Amino acid sequence: MTSLVRAACLTNFRDVAQASGLDPVRMLLDADLSPSVLDEPDLMIPVERVGRLLQAAATVSGNESFGLCMARSRLLSNLGAVGLLMRDQQSLRDALKLLMRYQAFLNGALTLSVEESGNTVVIRELLMAGSTHQPTRQRVELALGVMVRVIRQLIGRDWQPRRVCFEHPAPRDMSVHHQLLGPHVEFDFEFNCIVCTKSDLDQRNEFADPAMVRYAQQLLDALHQPGGETLLDEVRRTIFLLLPSGRCSMEQVSEHLGLVPRTLQRRLTDQGLSFSALMNDIRKEQASRYVVDGSRSLREVAQLLGFGAPSSFSRWYQLQFGSSAKESRAQASAVPRSPAVG
């Protein structure tokens, strides 16, 4: 299944590409995207093509921070009707809850979660790599950069996160990261996230307008009628989120979606799908990425995919791919890799 994202995710692509010495039209065509997408922000386009475009732009230009540069001047308005509704929420907490509710309408490959522990708040952004296993650095940095920009627009342009953390390694030049994200940026972290405080979440929005909220909600309801495809996106995203916990089941996913398991199963069956097949497909996507990447041990990979024991993961991998995970990793490491940014 192809995940989609609003074409508004490419806001500023033309300017950043030209500033980096690239021909934006040529880059878009090479990524199988029409140049017209830059003028149609509400158009839904394949996430993998966007990832291919950003990766190629970073590689060809030598600008390791290409995605982050695109986030530099993002505004809430770039989120369309969702951004309009977020702007008039009573607090950052309310705005993030709203964003999580409508995230699938903005980017079908991105899952947002907010975790609180005492006074510490972790805003995690989980990115599904997709079936092509392309590097995700540019997409991740664009997403977290946009989030920092959005939070500043909601609670104050001088706001600084406590930390911004990335799974990938540090770039050679971190000046853009510090300029946009603040002084506390970390790399090679366990997951991609922004760390702030509980008081940030609860800060009141003095400009919140309840009348505008009602108007924006009506607009969103008109734009996004519930349907089977949206439910399928939500199921996939929830599976992706719950897998590492080891408690990803029909019952848990149903609870997260506010449905009873029987209703969820019936809706999937109506589309010729099953919960177990969906979970297996996502495991295969993630397994291919993690095994080939090589930065995590196979024991860690087994845990991330929700297997209780490495032996269970080994048997499953052999059955799905026709070879062991060790053999796949050895074959991947034996193939010479051309230098690439990201």
Residues 214-229: tens digit of each pLDDT:
877 877 776 665 444 4
The residue segments making up the domain with residue 23 are 4-202
pLDDT of 160: 97
How many distinct helices (H) and strands (E) make up the chain?
17, 7
219 within some domain:
no
Place of tokens 């996004």: 224
- CA–CA dist 200, 95 (Å, integer): 12
Query: What proportion of the chain, given as a percentage, has pLDDT over 70?
Result: 92
Task: Annotate 45-62 with DSSP letters as a single string.
Answer: EEHHHHHHHHHHHHHHH-
User: What count of other Cβ atoms lies within 10 Å of the Cβ of residue 145?
Assistant: 23
What is residue 19's predicted lDDT score, i.e. its pLDDT? 97
Look at residue 341 and tell me whether its pLDDT is greater than 50: no
User: Helices marked H in 161-260 — which ranges?
Assistant: 175-181, 198-202, 210-223, 228-242, 250-257
| Dist. CA 89–CA 171, nearest whole Å | 36
Cα 303 from Cα 327, distance rounded (Å): 19
Residue 341 included in any domain: no
| pLDDT band of 130, cuts 50, 70, 90 | low
- Residue with the bigger pLDDT between 316 and 296: it is 316
Domain shared by 164 and 76, yes or no: yes
With respect to residue 270, please indicate whether it lies within any of the assigned structural domains: yes
Q: Are 274 and 253 in contact (CB under 8 A)?
A: no
**Same structural domain, 237 and 178:** no
Dist. CA 120–CA 59, nearest whole Å: 36
Nearest to 232 by CA among 307, 282, 286, 288: 282
Q: What is the pLDDT of residue 92?
A: 96
What mean pLDDT do residues 180-191 have? 95
Residue 174 and residue 306 share a domain: no
- Reported as a single tens digit per residue, the pLDDT across 276-286 is 999 999 999 88
Does 342 map to a domain? Answer: no
Asked which of 57-66, 159-168, 234-243, 310-319 is least confident by mean pLDDT, the reply is 234-243
Does some domain include residue 235?
yes
Is 233 found in the same domain as 188?
no
* Mean pLDDT within 9-31: 96
Least confident window among 41-50, 53-62, 190-199: 41-50
User: Does residue 18 sit in the same domain as residue 138?
Assistant: yes
Domain containing residue 271: CATH number: 1.10.10.60
pLDDT band at 137 (very low <50, low <70, confident <90, very high): very high
* Residue 270 three-state SS: helix
User: What is the maximum alpha-carbon separation in the chain?
Assistant: 61
Where residue 54 sits, what CATH number does that domain have? 3.90.1520
Residue 135 DSSP class: -
User: Is 217 inside a domain boundary?
Assistant: no
Query: Is 209 a member of any domain?
Result: no
Residues 89 and 98 sit within 8 Å (Cβ to Cβ): yes
Residues 6+ apart with CB under 8 A from 142: 9, 54, 67, 68, 70, 71
pLDDT score, position 183: 96
Residues 194 and 240 in one domain: no
Among residues 202, 220, 251, which one ends one of the domains? 202
- pTM of the predicted model, to two decimals? 0.71
Q: Are 70 and 8 in contact (CB under 8 A)?
A: no
Residues 171, 277 share a domain: no
Q: How many domains does the chain have?
A: 2
Mean of the pLDDT values across residues 16-31? 96
Alpha helices in 249-309, H assignment, sequence order: 250-257, 261-270, 275-293, 298-304
pLDDT at position 37 is 87
Looking at the fold, whether 296 and 191 belong to one and the same domain comes out as no
Same domain, 166 and 48: yes
238 and 129 in a common domain: no
Residue 309 lies in a domain: yes
In terms of domains, do 45 and 150 share one?
A: yes
Tokens of 155: 């609670």
Domain co-membership, 164 together with 77: yes
Q: Output the pLDDT for position 295.
A: 79
Of residues 147 and 236, more confidence is placed in: 147
Q: Work out the mean pLDDT of the chain and round it to a whole number.
A: 88
Task: Tell me which of 162, 187, 202 is where a domain ends.
Answer: 202
Average pLDDT of span 249-270? 85
Name beta bridge partners: 164. 185, 194
Instruction: Give 307's pLDDT tier (boundaries 50, 70, 90).
Output: very high
* Mean pLDDT, residues 108-135 taken together: 84
Domain boundary, last residue among 151, 186, 202: 202
- Give the model's pLDDT for residue 174: 96
